[in-house]
Amino acid sequence: MIIVTGGAGFIGSNIVQGLNARGINNILVVDDLGDGHKCANLADADIYDYLDKDDFLARLSGQDGFGAIEGVFHEGACSSTTEWDGRFVMKVNFEYSKALLEWCVKRRTPFFYASSASVYGAGQIFREEREFEQPLNMYAYSKFLFDCHLRARWNAIDSQVAGLRYFNVYGPREQHKGSMASVAYHFSHQLRESGRVRLFEGSDGYGPGEQRRDFIHVDDVVAVNLWLLDHPGVHGLFNVGTGRAQSFNDVARAAIAWHRARGEDGGIDYIPFPDSLKGRYQSFTEADMSALRAAGYEREFMDVASGVTRYLDWLHRN
């Protein structure tokens, strides 16, 4: 059996789909369905069982072995970058992850977990080294601290553990995320509603809409996760991006092009940069992919034009 925490969420449900595509259905999904809308992400998936995240943690504490486990994909977390209840975030993201890590290490079960590019803060170098990390919010800090917890234990762990620092992920099954959904998702909806995309004016020396991020399609994220499952000798902290920064204007233009190809007009409006985000916003990210490439990962990543087209095709079908 394979366990996917956060399995009804964005990346987790896509990992479940990726496993299903391999003919793997013996999957235990762990999540919090307090927001029942997330069930839509699993409606077309085949799984073995479901457990609430609190019930799952209780069973871990009770030394419940769950039988033979081939791997754990730990995608569950409070992912809101605007959540400032630090006690809540640390309990859900840090303490929960520590408990699951301990459980996996004792059983020599491969453990793959979601970290985040947000750990780099406003820096300009995105390499998996402590000197380049300075988180700007509670979400980022919780991910950063778990990475540090793991670093201190590397030499004492003899099973596969890999942390994946996701950059700006977009793609199917993120509709439940609301304001935290990707800009590609929001741009498509804005174009349907008004024919106009809204982007921030300039910030941090970047012109209107020219803030740049490393945007990665969720299918590429799933491919990295499943590759790690196939390569038990690979462990460590890895950036998961494309290795190239593209502007928000690029994403907007890709979405507009998709809609125009269907006879729908579109344009861009620039809105004032919010005061609440000043000093807490990553105006530039670009993954240094050296570590993952050195580990042997060779597959190429989609650029924004191809990735956004693929995503909007999916949204149109669904």
Global pTM value: 0.95
One-letter amino acid of 258: W
Residue 119's pLDDT band, with cuts at 50, 70 and 90, is very high
pLDDT score of 85: 87
Helix (H) or strand (E) holding 256, with range, is helix 248-260
CATH code for position 24: 3.40.50.720
Rounded to whole angstroms, the Cα distance separating 234 from 160 reads 7
Catalytic-labelled residue, pool 50, 53, 177, 206: 177
Rounded to whole angstroms, the Cα distance separating 149 from 279 reads 27
Residue 271 located in a structural domain = no
**How big is the chain, counted in residues?**
318
- With residues binned 3-state (H G I as helix, E B as strand, rest as coil), the percentages for the chain, rounded to 5, are 45, 20, 40
Instruction: Provide the number of structural domains found in the chain.
Output: 1
Please, are residues 249 and 199 in contact by the beta-carbon 8 Å criterion?
yes
Tell which wins on pLDDT, 277 or 215.
215
Tokens of 62: 């009770």
Catalytic-labelled residue, pool 96, 113, 120, 139: 139
Helical axes 138-151 vs 96-107, angle rounded to 10°: 30
Q: DSSP state, 153?
A: T
pLDDT score of 65: 66
Rounded to whole angstroms, the Cα distance separating 19 from 41 reads 14
Residue 206 located in a structural domain = no
Which range of residues forms the domain containing residue 13?
2-171+218-242+286-301
Average pLDDT over residues 142-158: 95
Is 281 catalytic? The answer is: no
Residue 200 located in a structural domain = no
Tokens of 19: 């496993």
Residue 250 located in a structural domain = no
Quickly count: other Cβ atoms within 10 Å of residue 132's Cβ. 15
Residue 21's pLDDT band, with cuts at 50, 70 and 90, is very high
pLDDT score of 116: 96
Residue 190 located in a structural domain = no
No. of H helices and E strands in the chain?
10, 13
Residue 197 located in a structural domain = no
Is 38 catalytic? The answer is: no
pLDDT score of 98: 96
Residue 295 located in a structural domain = yes
Please, are residues 132 and 147 in contact by the beta-carbon 8 Å criterion?
no
- For residue 251, which of 191, 172, 180 has the smallest C-alpha distance? 191
Backbone φ and ψ of 53, nearest 5° = -60, -35
Residue 63's pLDDT band, with cuts at 50, 70 and 90, is low
Backbone φ and ψ of 116, nearest 5° = -160, 145
Rounded to whole angstroms, the Cα distance separating 52 from 194 reads 39
Residue 203 located in a structural domain = no
Residue 282's pLDDT band, with cuts at 50, 70 and 90, is confident
Backbone φ and ψ of 23, nearest 5° = 85, 15
pLDDT for 216 beyond 70: yes
Rounded to whole angstroms, the Cα distance separating 24 from 2 reads 9
